[in-house]
Structures are given as C-alpha cells and as structure tokens.
Structure 1
Amino acid sequence: MGWNTYHQIVTELSPTKWIYSDFTTYVITHNKSNSNKQIIFTDVNPIDLLEQLKQQDGKDIWICGGANLVQQIMRADLIDRYYISIIPTLLGKGIKLFGELPKEQKLSLVRTRNYNGIVELVL
C-alpha cells in the first residue's frame, strides 16, 4: 500500500489496532518510519518490489492502495485480479482510480458481493 492508504488506516479507520495483522504489509513511501516484523516501510519502486516478492515463498500478493500505486502496477501489467469496492458516495473531484490507460483492457466479472452498503466487484 502507499503512504496515504496506510496513514488513513492508522489515523481514521483503525487507530488502535492494525487491521491487516494476518499479513506482512509493505508501505511504499518516501516518509521515514520505523519498520517492524509486520509493517515494512520502503521507498523501493513498486514494480521492483512486486518482482522481488513473486520470487519468494508465500501466497498471493494483495495491493491495497490508492490510484497512484494501482496505476503504476497496471501499466506494468502485474494485476491478475481486481477487487473493486464501490461505496455509494459521489466525491465530485479527486484522483481517477485508473487514470489514462495506454490501451483498453477487457475484464471479466468473476463475482459480486454486497455488504455494509458496499458493492465489491471481482474482475
């Protein structure tokens, strides 16, 4: 995840408990922070980090992040499956999730889920 996503989690969404305690989390940032066994802060290029992680033992890699991070990984064609959560709020302005793509990408709907007023698309 990127710094903004991390910061929102620890200051607004779950300030008293790390909600991804079952995972090793990599926070891609230029902010200097102390890493621990569970949360690793790094300024490594996200594409290079993904390539390194793919060479290691473990399960799938889950990207939880904002538009900037997602766009970088999309351009490198490293996303196998998209989980897109739609929250019924029209912001009016902000960063486009996918930005401009170099070419059209066809996706297939795998499933949907509706919970707590949120619709999740798995593509």
Structure 2
Amino acid sequence: MRPLIVFTDVTVDGFMAGPENDLGFMVDDPQLADELTGELMAVADTMLWGRKSFTPSGAYWTAADGELAAWMNATPKVVLSSDSGFDVSSWANSTLAAGDGVDQVRRLKETSGGSLVVFGGVQTVRSLVAADLVDEYWLKVNPTIVGRGGSMFSAVGDRRTLTLRSARSFPSGTVALIYAPSRVS
C-alpha cells in the first residue's frame, strides 16, 4: 500500500491557512526548503491537490525555476474534485480524479508506486485526515500565530495518538516535525 504524506506549513496554533484563507504566515527558510523538500522528492512520486489549491499552485510552479520547480512540474499530479468538468490541462502531468476524493485516494493507495503527497488545500487535507488515510504528517510549523483560519484537524471526531519520527529546527524559527499515526508501524 502506498503511504500518504501531508506536507504542509502550519502556524504555531495549528492552522494551514489564515482567516481569509491566506498563506501570508509562511516564513521563507532556504535551508528548510532544501532539506525537507529534498527528502520529500526522494520518496514521493505522485502529488494530490484539491481543486481550489490546484490552479494558483500550478500558476506559481509553472513560472518558477530550480530543482524543486522542475520536480513539481514533472511529477504526476492528481486533482481531487467533485466537478467532473474541471480543467486540469494548465499544469503538465495532471489528471482529474472526479467524484468522492476520499474514495479516490483509497484507490490510489492500493496502486503501486512511491508515496503520495497531498499539499492542499485545507478542505482536501481535512477530509483525508478525518478518514484516517494519512500515514505521515510532515509539518513545517512557522513561528506565527493567526488565532483563526483553516485547520486540517477540525473534522477529527476522536482522539488520535501520533508518534514523532523527526524534529528539526531551522534558522528562521520554523520547526519541521514528522509524525505518523500510532497505527502505522
């Protein structure tokens, strides 16, 4: 079974997005980007995106340069959307998985390949977390508090225990944490 990784920035108070669904809380840290994304590129071979985050992310990465941009553009992308007519042709190597996103991810996890990585958006990640499909949380905890916003954990109905796999701090004050649900060996 292919593991599913959530790779996301969060605030100290646990939000993936600010009050207006903004990402202005994210702190730039080239060392973190080099180390953590390099590790991700070594294990993940398919990206998962929600419909709302796909378009702005695609616009950004198709105009970007460098090793990470090359990987983002070349790696297969699966867009989860209930809209079967959503056009994914603006970003190379993208396919649409229309219908129930949770069911689509369950099917993808049964296929062969490397890790699946979901970058966003909040609703997509929240639904995968609620369905207990996430095998690893790669959290970049930014030294920012926003007070309210989009939380990936707000739909979890029961207590879940996580096992810390890795913790690293970076010059920006950002802390990279990798957790796995205790059910994962």
TM class, shorter-chain normalised? 0.7 to 0.9
Distance 1:34 1:73, change over 3 A: closer
Q: Any idea what SS the aligned residue of 1:82 has? A: strand
Structure 2 counterpart of 1:84 = 139
For 2:126 and 2:138, locate their aligned partners in 1 and report how far apart those are by CA, in whole Å.
14
1:49 aligns with 2:101: no
1:32 matched to 2:86? The reply is yes
Q: Is the 8 A contact 1:67 1:98 kept in 2?
A: no
Change (3 A) 1:114 1:4: farther
Aligned residue pairs, count = 122
After TM superposition, the score normalised by the length of structure 2 is 0.56
Query: What is the deviation of 1:56?
Result: 2.0
Any conservation in 1 of the 2:62–2:73 contact (CA below 8 Å)? no
Q: 2:175 aligns with which of 107, 119, 122?
A: 119
Counterpart check, 1:62 vs 2:62: no
Q: Which residue does 2:61 correspond to in 1?
A: 14
Pick closer, same or farther for the CA change 1:76–1:97 going to 2, 3 Å: closer
For CA contacts below 8 A with separation 6 or more, give which structure has more relative contact order.
2
Identity %: 20
| Counterpart-to-counterpart distance in 1, 2:134 and 2:77 | 18
Partner of 2:75: 23
Report how far residue 15 of structure 1 moved. Answer: 4.8
Contact 2:88 2:96 in 1 (8 A): yes
Query: What are the Cα deviations for residues 32-79 of structure 1, in whole angstroms up to 9, with x where unaligned?
Result: 214476111332312221122123221111111132112211222111
The residue aligned with 1:93 is 148
Does the C-alpha gap of structure 1 residues 3 and 113 become closer, same or farther in structure 2, counting only changes over 3 Å?
A: farther
C-alpha change, 1:34 and 1:21, in structure 2 (3 Å) is closer
Instruction: Extract unaligned runs of 5+ from structure 1.
Output: none
Equivalent position to 1:2, from 42, 50, 55 = 50
Gaps of 5+ in 2: 1-48, 180-185
Question: Secondary structure of 1:109's match?
Answer: strand
Higher normalized helix content (fraction of residues): 2
